[in-house]
Structure 1
Amino acid sequence: MATVRERPARGGRGSSSAPAHGVAAEAGRRILLPLVLMALVTLGIGLLITKVMEHSTLVAQDEAISREIAQERTPFWNDVTHYASMLSDTPVIIVVTAIMAVLFRLVYRRWRESVFLVAAVCAQSAIFLLATVFAQRARPHVPHLDPAPPTSSYPSGHTSAAVAFYCGTALVLTLHTHRHTILKALWWLLGAGAALAVGLARLYRGMHHLTDVSWGYVLGIFCVVVLAQALLLRPLAASRRAASGRAVRGAARA
């Protein structure tokens, strides 16, 4: 009896690498491309402020706002803003991000939420550092209540980091407690409140101009939205559709 030889599977290594290429292309399209565009826009605005509009009304108004705020300082608000600003100090953000990443991994038993939070914090940090290197803006010409770090005033890294971590954490918790309105409101009250407090504190303490803090908010929100859409919301929607499909097929078989 003649035997039939099994034909080797076509594609070889190519068949296994195709999905990997597809995943990489999807990640590049949904994550890397938007972040690169945001980096270019952030850098472009920084260069516009420091090189083209250096003597413009906008820059003069920025300085006037900083001077006006400095004149209204009080010992009480000096203390309050000191602790508010500390919420987004670099060592604090590094430690709390690591802690929450570990907690998310242990509680949810997967890496998705942890990767999202770390990626959001790192993405805004990378764009912030790029802007400070090439668009070096002097800090407001008022007494500074904090030691001035070596980075420039634009954009506010404290603000963007606060949005990435505190609002990113609030988003993760909201997705897992979406049926509890009170909890959702609590997460966003704490997350958005912390980010808002940090930005106002940096402005009050003379460490950034209003435009620096404003773009810090834009940068942080952009990073959270882009990475949440790619790493949290799309996979969550796909898993819910799959679960719904399985439920329909199970009901049809019954």
Structure 2
Amino acid sequence: MSPRQQTAGSMVVRSWLAARLTPGGALGLPLTVSFLMIAAAGWGLGELADSVRENDDLAAGDAGATAWMVAHRTGWLTAALRVVTDLGGVWMALALVAVAALGIPLSGSRWRTAALMALVTGGTSALVNGVKLLIARPRPTLPEMISTASGFSFPSGHSAQAVAAYASLAYLIGRRWPVPAVRVSAWAGAGLVVLLVGFSRLYLGVHWLTDVLGGYLLAAAWTTAVWAAVRLATSSGGAASRRQDQGTAEP
């Protein structure tokens, strides 16, 4: 390869990297961050699954974490967390789908917003159930469980659904009202609910700590992938429409 070709190739690579780090546009920094988040969450989920199967590393401390929770239970906190845990349930996810479609639809399309929210929450549920069957991890022992739960334990469905539903809601709020204070408040509120739901599953004894973390990672990967695809499709559609308009306007 000649020096001129090497220089041209280097310029192309630098140009491509610069475009990936540009803050504006769907193909710039937002897409790069989304890919990094998906890769990191997927890697973390795989590591957790291996730890659970082999009962080593982080999974080896699950019993200790549950025992500590059991030893520090109090009546008022138990009552409160029985209510909080339902924020990650299926019915609450369906309610949030309706809220998003009616209150903060994308581009004024309620049906499209409802379909996308359903894809996020429904896809999360399907993935959770698939991984549960694959790992087949038993739940904590019954004396430690003070809430009803069935099926396998890893990953936590409530924790995953909380990430999918509330992160999506925060994302839609941020798009509808692109003001820093609104976005920060929406994401902070979503993060608080997600943490409380995960804590409630561990406190009530229906999941291990690694189940909760696994639910978080699975939903983070899937939710990020869905909304990144929406951003790309919206950007591509807008660019194509602009090109068509420019072509029509030419004499």
TM-score (norm 2): 0.71
CA distances 1:151-181 after superposition (whole Å, capped 9, x unpaired): 2110000010111111111101111211x12
- Counterpart Cα distance in 1 of 2:73 and 2:181: 36
Q: Is the 8 A contact 2:105 2:113 kept in 1?
A: yes
Structure 2 partner of 1:145: 146
TM-score (norm 1): 0.70
Structure 1 residue ranges without an equivalent (≥5): 1-33
Structure 1 partner of 2:22: none
Structure 1 partner of 2:154: 154
Q: Which amino acid aligns with 1:194?
A: V
Structure 2 partner of 1:66: 66
- Secondary structure of the 1:137 match is coil
Structure 2 residue ranges without an equivalent (≥5): 1-37
CA distances 1:103-139 after superposition (whole Å, capped 9, x unpaired): 4559813544333211111111111111222321111
- Counterpart Cα distance in 2 of 1:168 and 1:240: 22
Query: Within 5 A, what are the aligned runs for 1:19-168?
Result: 46=49, 49-50=52-53, 53-54=54-55, 56=56, 58-105=58-105, 108-109=108-109, 111-141=111-141, 142-148=143-149, 150-168=150-168
Q: In the superposition, relative to structure 1, how do residues 44 and 201 fare at CA in structure 2: closer, same or farther (>3 Å)?
A: same
- Counterpart Cα distance in 2 of 1:208 and 1:197: 14
TM-aligned CA deviation for residue 90 of structure 1: 2.1
- Counterpart Cα distance in 2 of 1:44 and 1:181: 35
Percent identity, aligned pairs only? 23
Provide the alpha-carbon RMSD of the alignment. Answer: 3.3
- Counterpart Cα distance in 2 of 1:163 and 1:106: 20
Structure 2 partner of 1:235: 233
Q: Which moved more, 1:167-176 or 1:156-165?
A: 167-176
Q: Who wins on radius of gyration, i.e. which is larger?
A: 1
Count of residues paired in the alignment: 209
TM-aligned CA deviation for residue 68 of structure 1: 0.8
